[in-house]
Amino acid sequence: MNQHLAALTDNVAVTALKVSGGRFINNNYLVLNRRTGQALLVDPAWERETVDSALKAANAQLAGILLTHAHADHIDLADTLANEHGCPVWISRREAASSGFSIAALRTFDEQPWEAAGMLVRPIITPGHTPGSACYWIGNHLFTGDTLFIEGCGLCPDSDAASRMYSSIQRLKAMLPGKVQIYPGHSYVQPPGLTFERLFRYNVYLSFDNVEAFIKFRLRPGQAKSRWMAFS
């Protein structure tokens, strides 16, 4: 790895911020560049004081916001924070188009990496939960939104979406090193930050090698629709 690339990937520190709003409990993440003191936020929602406290504790300057998808529990504070900090907000081009989400600070991408807060941001488009969901790979950390949880994967509205989710998970399996740490949008039992190789102990969705079986299981009847996790 050359010196410039190492500087963009070797100084990344992650702080998980657990926030709640209504029936939702979400993980927001502060991604700090320890070299420069600049930071990115992933999916900020609801608890403004939690975000402010985390920025202050890290002595960090907010330089950008990354959105994994456009569901309300992942975008709630994006516009407010972007306006106050004068920073951009990123979402995949496909997600912006399919959701209609639009704010002044919004920037879109396909799959090209870019540099933000002095860190290399590598997006992976992972459709399934939504048409343009994205994961963000920064240093040794992968922020997965509602695509991949430690113990499961996000809801898919129909069999076409579940088929896309299967392909997205197969793609992650093919490209991610086992040591990459996984930071999902919601936590259930295990904490965020487990390595990808450890997820294979907990996550049945990683074990499928047949799309029909995956779809049938993801859309199986009897899943609790009234629980907050079912809407995430």
- In angstroms, give the least distance from the CB of 129 to Fe ion: 6
- Alpha-carbon gap, residue 66 to 123, rounded angstroms: 10
- Region binding Fe ion by CB under 5 A among candidate stretches 108-116, 140-148, 167-175, 194-202: 140-148
Strands of the sheet with 141-145, listed across from one edge: 114-116, 119-125, 134-138, 141-145, 181-184, 194-195
The reply to whether 47 sits near Fe ion by the rule CB under 5 A is no
Strand 61-66 relative to strand 38-42, pairing:
parallel
Helices (H), 78-210: 78-85, 93-99, 159-175, 196-202
Based on the shown chain and the rule CB under 5 A, indicate whether residue 95 belongs to the binding site for Fe ion: no
Decide whether 71 or 218 has the Cβ nearer to Fe ion: 71
Picking from 181, 89, 199, the residue whose alpha carbon sits closest to that of residue 138 is 181
**Residue indicated by tokens 């202050």:** 56
Binding to Fe ion by residue 146, rule CB under 5 A? yes
Residue whose beta carbon is closest to Fe ion: 71
Choice between 71 and 94, CB closer to Fe ion:
71
Is residue 71 part of the contact set for Fe ion (CB under 5 A)? yes
Residue 26 CB, nearest approach to Fe ion (Å):
9
CA pair distance 182, 39, nearest whole angstrom:
18
| Contact region with Fe ion (CB under 5 A), list: 83-91, 96-104, 145-153, 190-198 | 145-153
Nearer to Fe ion, 12 or 75 (CB): 75
* Terminal Cα-to-Cα distance of the chain (whole angstroms): 37
Question: Per CB under 5 A, does 94 bind Fe ion?
Answer: no
Site for Fe ion in 194-213 (CB under 5 A): none
The label of the residue with tokens 């960090």 reads 60
Give the binding site for Fe ion (CB under 5 A): 71, 146, 232
